[in-house]
Structure 1
Amino acid sequence: MAVTVSTFQEMKRAGKKISMLTAYDYTTAHLVDEAGVDSILVGDSLGNVMLGLGDTIPVTMDDMVRHTAAVTRGAKNALVIADMPFMSYETSAYDAVVNAGRLVKEGRANAVKLEGGTEMADRIQAIVRAKIPVCAHIGLTPQGINAVGGFKVQGKTTSGVKKLLEDAHAVQNAGAFAVVIEAVPAEVAALITRQLSIPTIGIGAGAQCSGQVLVNQDMLGMFDDFTPKFVRRFAEVGALMKQAYREYDECVKSGEFPTKEHCYATPAGVLDELGEL
């Protein structure tokens, strides 16, 4: 059965944990979906793990639409949420609605996600009014790393906690159906989760959130440029892939591959009919 934004609300009320993973292509989305993961986030983290850009800032709307469309073709049951990239919504509520509309209309996303709290409440409200579900994102907001001076844990001071609570309530009041909380002390995220009626999805925010999200390449051990403290590797797929690539390279160079079983045979008599060439 397909997961919807209503499913998220039902799981929150029932105390059931929500699972979310990123995906950026058809094949991965299909596998994540078949595994029964509740939601797929087409994150602008594709800038890091797919495009090698170093951060999410250069990711474009066209990038997000293309990758979102690939994911939605592979996901039949998971709720697909697409990130709105940097400067696709900050400029105005109008731009926010237009760009969110592209992700739904062209990318076929079920919902969109944008970063920011109180300062983005009007954008969330405008998008929701356009009948597009919005997942908010507070705490560490990667698109704002230049403003905050890098990847730093948020909510470590009294004023910081108050700001997070204000942001959380602001996005809920604006109509967000869920909120991602990133890089926040576990006790603070638990407090936010208790106060909100919408689900919280944690990434580096402790076990008391309504659900969890990780970047696919991080949890599979495929991305080594940097590893956040909150990442748990559930497999070492990167090492397995390199082993397979090495074996392929060796077999090609030694002549062990391809063998007869991997080749097509010419029908009898065809070469004879050609005569001498």
Structure 2
Amino acid sequence: MNLHSRLTVADLMALKGQRQLSMLRVETLEEAEAAEKAGVDILSVHPNLLLNPQYRDAAPQAYTIPGGDYGDLVTEEDHLRHAFKMMRHGADAVYCAASSQTIRRLRDEGIAVCGHAGLVPSRATWTGGFKAVGKTADLAEVVWQQIQALEAAGAFSVEVEAVPAEVATLICRHTALFTISMGSGPGCDAQYLWACDVLGTNRGFMPKHSKVYRRLADEYDRLQAERVAAFQEFHADVTTGAYPQPEHLQRIRPEELQAFAARFEQLVAEGRRAG
């Protein structure tokens, strides 16, 4: 793995406003490898995937930002230890939706931080729940204030989630942060989707911004039906005696079997006498 050929924070900032970058949330090594081969610029991963020793073999060049589950980290020290651990295992930045104070502490230690604005799931109750944020002038101002706070705290990037495209475009033109759109339109610097939506494996809620490029769920259903059929046939063969057949059995030469049979009878007889 050539560490020096991956994108850096400096590279991303230089690309700001030059071209749109692509970003995916991947859940498996196979998805990470596929994204790498497809040329996807940035990957979001669960920390456990990054900690897998095979991750960087699967995606050696992808700029990777780990983001965990809400509540796993609480104090500044929790976030700091976690960030250093992620960086040791190949992270290029860390996602952090904690306070400005925590983000500032991470930045002071040289950790590249990606923050979150707009619909922030862990704070959705403050902006009206799981829905778009910024559809009124007051809420659009809240988004701008969130981004200003992140910039002041030292974050280099921000995920802008579920913000009206016009609002996001206007805001992103006036921030130095590298902006990542999660359903917030083309005015941001990168476009972010989840692999499960792109691959059509998500059987649950589909957000408005999602786009399905393949329907792998149909293929998984077909494969599962094939599994069930194969297991049914195996069960039937065992029940009827059709399995195993002679070609499935190990064999012993006749003279060796005869010698063992004679010895076995003696062993059995000795066992009975001893009992």
Instruction: Establish whether TM, by shorter chain, passes 0.5.
Output: yes
- Paired AA for residue 205 in structure 2: F
* Partner SS state of residue 80, structure 1: strand
How far apart are residue 173 of structure 1 and its match? 2.6
Match of 1:140 in 2: 119
Q: Pick the aligned partner of 2:16 from 12, 34, 38.
A: 12
Alpha carbons 1:182, 1:203 under 8 Å: kept: yes
Post-superposition offset of 1:32:
1.2
Residue 30 of structure 1 corresponds to which residue in structure 2?
Answer: 33
Distance 1:34 1:93 in 2: 36
Percent same amino acid among aligned pairs?
28
SS in 2 for 1:155: coil
Letter in 1 for 2:11: T
Residue of structure 2 aligned with 1:156, choices 105, 114, 135: 135
Deviation of 1:115 (Å)? 2.1
**1:18 to partner: Cα distance:** 1.0
Give the 3 Å change call, closer, same or farther, for CA 73–182 of structure 1 in structure 2: same
Unaligned runs of 5+ in 2: 235-246, 262-275
Deviation at 1:73, TM superposition (A): 4.6
2:253 maps to a residue whose letter is D
Written as runs of structure 1 = structure 2, the 5 A alignment for 1:1-277 is 1-13=5-17, 15-43=18-46, 64=47, 66-70=48-52, 71-89=55-73, 91-105=74-88, 107-115=89-97, 120-254=99-233, 271-272=252-253, 275=257
State the Cα distance separating 1:136 from its structure 2 match.
Answer: 1.0
Q: Secondary structure at the match of 1:184?
A: coil
Q: Offset at 1:275?
A: 3.3
| Number of aligned residues | 240
Does the residue aligned with 1:179 lie in a helix, a strand or coil? Answer: strand
Give distance in 2, aligned partners of 1:239 and 1:147. Answer: 38
**Counterpart of 1:114 in structure 2: which amino acid?**
C
Q: Which runs of 5+ in 1 are unaligned?
A: 44-63, 256-264
Is 177-186 or 155-164 further displaced after alignment? 155-164
Q: Is the 8 A contact 1:5 1:79 kept in 2?
A: no
TM-score (norm 2): 0.78
CA distance in 1, matches of 2:135, 2:116: 18
Relative to structure 1, is the Cα distance of residues 5 and 270 closer, same or farther in structure 2, using a 3 angstrom cutoff?
A: farther
SS at 1:125 equivalent: helix
Evaluate the alpha carbon distance shift between residue 247 and residue 85 of structure 1 in structure 2; reply closer, same or farther with a 3 A threshold.
Answer: closer
- 2:242 alignment counterpart: none
- Which deviations, in whole Å up to 9, do the C-alpha atoms of 1:123-154 show, x marking residues without a partner? 11110111211011111011224554531110
Q: Is the 8 A contact 1:69 1:109 kept in 2?
A: no
Displacement of 1:100 in angstroms is 1.9
Query: Alpha-carbon deviation of 1:181?
Result: 0.3
TM-score between the two structures when normalised by the length of structure 1: 0.78
